[in-house]
Amino acid sequence: MKITEKLIEDVAFYLMTEACIDLPGDVKSALERALSEETEPVAIKQLQSILENVEIAKRRRKPICQDTGVPMFYVDYGQNCQAEGDLRAAITRGTARASDAVPMRHNVAHPLTMENNRNNTGWGVPVVYWDVLPDRDYIELTAVPKGFGAEMRSAHSIVYTSENIRKAVCRCVMDMVEDAMGEPCPPMIIGVGVGGLTDSVMNVAKRSMFRSPVGRHNPDPMVAQMEQELLEEINGLGLGPMGLGGKNYALAVNIDVVASHVSTVAIGISLQCWCSRYSTARIYNDGRVQFITHPKEGHGL
């Protein structure tokens, strides 16, 4: 049996729809923990409003945020899976259906002419990042409506290996935080990529933001220590939710490391606002669908 193009389209539609309206449970729990830690009245009010917003969106089946962002997918393709048809076309059709059904704001336009297809597709969108997984018999899809309040505050640097790289990473992240203030809609998740190429390091940083559950550290003890130290230093600034003061400016700092050139190290920083929306599912060769973040009754479509 093969994974059909229609099934991929249907799963993409479901994932993008749910990502827009229902915050993943681990993100909501992280926001609730942040609320329990706050003592500043303004910070408490901000987090209470955020959590109330999350519940209203879920109950009324409406977008959590008016900026439904630019649609993005991660596709992990198992080497042992069997799929037919055009996967990108299927994902694009699913996205267009979600754009109408949610509905999603018409954010996607040609960058030079501002032509707009009014379905959040076209000109390379949805953005799709592909990877191949050995010895797997499924396709894993993750849908992300990536909002741009946080996206526009992404940052990139290259440092020489003659520097202390750990200190350089810390300096780059702290400079970004102190410049961004409340613009990325904190409390946020900060993804950091270290190493690789100028383009790939940004993807490493972006993907690290979706490590689940929120707050889970990198398995490398040295990197995990960097994550914890940076999180404490960032929140120690007292910027708080929405940059209005408080203990929780960041919910997590996630750092992933890849090999680097011997002379320079690329550092990428990607931000995800408090509305860290994503939805993940696996499609198996037998047509079974496992919905990981947003369970669907019957475990299938």
Give the residues across from 125 on adjacent strands. Answer: 122
Task: For the sheet with 155-160, list strands across it.
Answer: 155-160, 264-272, 188-194, 250-257
pLDDT in tens, the chain (301 residues): 789 999 999 999 999 999 999 999 999 999 999 999 999 999 999 999 999 999 999 999 999 999 999 999 999 999 999 999 999 999 999 999 999 999 999 999 999 999 999 999 999 999 999 999 999 999 999 999 999 999 999 999 999 999 999 999 999 999 999 999 999 999 999 999 999 999 999 999 999 999 999 999 999 999 999 999 999 999 999 999 999 999 999 999 999 999 999 999 999 999 999 999 999 999 999 999 999 999 986 445 6
Cα dihedral 110→116→121→127 (10° resolution)? 30
What would the two tokens of residue 17 be? 């729809």
CA angle 210, 211, 216 (to 5 degrees): 145
pLDDT at 2: 87
What is the dihedral angle through the alpha carbons of 218, 219, 222, 225, rounded to the nearest 10 degrees?
50
Q: Are 228 and 26 in contact (CB under 8 A)?
A: no
- At residue 297, the pLDDT reads 64
The predicted structure's pLDDT at residue 299: 45
